[in-house]
Amino acid sequence: MTAHPELTRNQALVLKALGQAEIPLSAYTILDLLRDDGFRAPLQVYRALDKLQELGLVHRLESISAFVACAHPHCHAHEIIAFAICRTCGRVNEFSDAGIEERLGRWIEAHKFEPEKTTIEMSGLCAACADPSNGASVGA
């Protein structure tokens, strides 16, 4: 399902590390996780991340300088993606909203701006962390 035969060994290892994590990982955390697999330098991680981002399999969260595996590894080439990031448990919710895309599209047209990358990130508390009595579990 999420197999990508095109991936090199390094790219596959980085993607696997991100896929197994419940929260976003920094490049240096990934490096540490992959030391046993022969990783020695940040560039090995960054190069793999670059490629994975190109392929749409990984996203960078600008506001926390960390990376997540795409939650919808199908093609969302044309969608604008948004993230809700919990500052307590670290969990991330990836979603898209046609309405937001349409509003931004209006602004872009009116101002003749040519966007190449759009970042939408909300930081705050997820439902579980905001109200622990609500039943959901809070990760380690």
Partner DNA sequence: ATGGCATACGTTATAGCATTACGCAATCGA
Partner DNA sequence: TCGATTGCGTAATGCTATAACGTATGCCAT
Q: Taking the complex as a whole, how short is the minimal distance between the CB of residue 57 and its own copies, in angstroms?
A: 20
Among 23, 88, 100, 101, binds Zn ion (CB under 5 A): 88
Task: Report in angstroms the alpha-carbon separations of 31 from 25, 26, 27, 62.
Answer: 10, 9, 6, 19
- What whole-number distance in Å separates Cα of residue 48 and Cα of residue 14? 7
* Residues in 59-88 that interact with its own copies by CB under 8 A: 62-63, 82, 84, 87
**Closest CB 10 distance from its own copies, rounded Å:** 26
**Interface with DNA in residues 56-95 (CB under 7 A):** 60, 65-66
In degrees, to the nearest 5, what angle opens at C-alpha 22 toward C-alphas 14 and 82? 90
Stretch in the footprint of Zn ion (CB under 5 A) among 16-24, 34-42, 96-104, 118-126: 118-126
Element (H, E) at 84: strand 81-86
Residue 129 makes contact with Zn ion by CB under 5 A: yes
Task: Tell me the site size for its own copies, rule CB under 8 A.
Answer: 35
For Zn ion, give the closer residue by CB, 44 or 48: 48
119 binds its own copies (CB under 8 A): yes
Determine if 52 is a binding residue for DNA (CB under 7 A): no
In angstroms, rounded to a whole number, what is the distance separating the alpha carbons of residues 40 and 129? 36
**Helices 42-54/9-20 angle, 10° precision:** 80
Residue 88 interacting entry, from its own copies, Zn ion, DNA, none, C-beta within 5 to 8 Å by type: Zn ion
Residue 86 within binding range of Zn ion, rule CB under 5 A: yes
Residue 19 burial (CB count, 10 A)? 14
